[in-house]
Amino acid sequence: MSLRAVKGMKDILPDEISKWHRLEDAFRARAALYGFREARFPIVEPTALFVRSIGENTDIVEKEMYTFTDRGDKSLTLRPEGTASSVRAYIQHNVQALEPVTKWFYVGPMYRRERPAKGRYRQFYQAGIEVFGDPGPYVDAEVIDMVVGFISSLGITQVEVLINSIGGPETRANYRDALLGYLEPYRSELCSDCQRRMDANPLRVLDCKVPRCSEIAADAPSILSHLVDADRAHFDTLQKTLTLLGTPYRVEGSLVRGLDYYTRTLFEVLGKGEGLGAQNALLGGGRYDQMVKSLGGPDTPAIGFAMGLERLLMAMPSEPDPTHVDVFIVAAQASVRSEAALLGRELRDAGLRVESDLRGGSLKSQLRRADKMSARIAMILGESEVENGVVQLKDLEQKTQDEVSRAEAAKRAKAILG
């Protein structure tokens, strides 16, 4: 019996990794421009953290979390998202006492046992940001503008930004009554999940993907018509600031997202293109002003977003993979393999990326491997070269070959590489 990766969990091999590096490096660079600093959190957290923050009646908690009991009889969960861990760390380390506004970003794996689909895995990778301590709406606009600029920097041009407001506690209470009044006549037509959601959090009905539920939700009253004055002012200022920044957006009153912790601002970025298929959401986020307090911390406003890296990789235009070899060392005889290893170390100490095949083989076969690895330079070392302190330097692109001193080999290689 051959062993295979767990269903929904994917190996990322070296041929793919350069595109991952390009994406992650671009995100880190963009986050630094906005003053965000990286934080790293445990992959395993107490189960109660996610139940209390995400919501007991959400699909993630009810159906998708990888939860287990450890040997100390504690319930632990592989993290399904990054915001709850960020909040837990913010409270645990008393960060609010150190700075009035905290700006973090993170990159790492998350785990949800949902049905695998194109670009969606059970171990998947997210990058996200969190801002603690700023009530917005100006920071809301800046965060949205930041992520739109980041996506554009990846060469992804066909995007659409959706925004909505689901208000604070007063708005939500008012809207809940109106929404329940609309949904009640349709209760028997809703799926079993939505029938439960009507009692726990009826806004979640608006996020259901079951066709009949979506049809019913399409005619539901809009939460935007139920915003109290403070929530309306916040949303109006967000729109004005986005317009001033030149960030295109569309107000989508049915946008609620799948987590219970959101308040006021919600946003989602959709991509277009054949690579994404029907599942076209690239990222989403919003404001969660109640979560820090609900988990035992001080009353702290917050906003953030998370994006699935696999989805972004599918939307990014392809680029040639950069070569991972500058110099390939060819040992012309078996007797010089030790010297070839020493030459490799000398070149690497000079900052060059070096590969060699110390198994042996003919000169022709080693040069074929250098070509296959897209090396720009081959340095050929034989007994006479070792004796005379030189190497044969072959420019594989220009098809030229020169004899150079061993002491000058790294310098000549760098000149060719530019």
Q: What is the pLDDT of residue 361?
A: 83
Q: What is the pLDDT of residues 215-229, one digit of tens each?
A: 998 888 989 999 999
Residue 381 DSSP SS3: strand
What share of the chain has pLDDT > 90, as a percent?
A: 67
- Asked if residue 269 lies in contact with residue 312, where contact means CB atoms within 8 angstroms, the answer is no
Residue 380's beta-bridge partner residues?
A: 330, 392
Q: What is the pLDDT of residues 325-360, one digit of tens each?
A: 899 999 999 999 999 999 999 999 999 999 988 887
pTM of the model: 0.85
Q: What is the pLDDT of residue 274?
A: 53
| Pairs from 395-402 (Cβ < 8 Å, separation ≥ 24) | 396/370, 396/371
* For residue 258, pLDDT beyond 90: no
Q: What is the pLDDT of residues 355-399, one digit of tens each?
A: 988 887 888 999 999 988 889 999 999 999 999 999 999 999 999
Pick the more confident residue, 219 or 321.
219
- Dist CA 39 CA 41 (whole Å): 7
- Asked if residue 302 lies in contact with residue 291, where contact means CB atoms within 8 angstroms, the answer is yes
pLDDT band at 255; cut points 50, 70, 90: confident
Q: What is the pLDDT of residue 351?
A: 94
Q: Given CA atoms 117, 122, 127, 133 in this order, what sign does their dihedral have?
A: positive
Q: What is the pLDDT of residues 72-98, one digit of tens each?
A: 999 999 999 999 999 999 999 999 999
- Dist CA 398 CA 412 (whole Å): 14
Q: What is the pLDDT of residues 112-161, one digit of tens each?
A: 998 877 778 999 999 999 999 999 899 999 999 999 999 999 988 888 99
Q: What is the pLDDT of residues 280-305, one digit of tens each?
A: 788 999 999 999 999 999 999 999 99
β 327-331/377-381 pair status? parallel
String of DSSP letters for 343-366: HHHHHHHTT--EEE-TT---HHHH
* For residue 273, pLDDT beyond 60: no
- Asked if residue 128 lies in contact with residue 106, where contact means CB atoms within 8 angstroms, the answer is yes
* For residue 277, pLDDT beyond 60: no
CA angle at 50 for the pair 45 and 51, rounded to the nearest 5°: 130
Torsion, Cα of 174, 175, 181, 187 (10° steps)? -140
222 conformational bin, left if phi > 0, alpha if psi -120 to 50, beta if neither: beta
pLDDT band at 275; cut points 50, 70, 90: low
pLDDT band at 111; cut points 50, 70, 90: very high
- Dist CA 414 CA 326 (whole Å): 9
Q: What is the pLDDT of residue 55?
A: 80
Q: Domains in the chain, please, with CATH? A: 14-168+228-315 (3.30.930.10), 327-417 (3.40.50.800)
- Dist CA 344 CA 340 (whole Å): 6
- Asked if residue 204 lies in contact with residue 156, where contact means CB atoms within 8 angstroms, the answer is no
Summary mean pLDDT of the chain: 91
* For residue 251, pLDDT beyond 70: yes
pLDDT band at 278; cut points 50, 70, 90: low
Exposed/middle/buried for residue 180 (C-beta within 10 Å: 0-12, 13-18, 19+): middle
Q: Given CA atoms 212, 218, 221, 223 in this order, what sign does their dihedral have?
A: positive
Helix axes 138-153, 14-33, angle to 10 degrees: 150
**How many other CB atoms are there within 10 angstroms of residue 310's CB atom?**
18
CA angle at 269 for the pair 86 and 131, rounded to the nearest 5°: 25
- Dist CA 385 CA 402 (whole Å): 12
- Dist CA 186 CA 227 (whole Å): 25
- Dist CA 186 CA 189 (whole Å): 5
Q: How many CA atoms, within 13 angstroms, populate the side-chain half-sphere of residue 53?
A: 24
Lowest mean pLDDT among 25-34, 204-213, 277-286: 277-286
Q: Which H or E element spans position 378?
A: strand 377-381
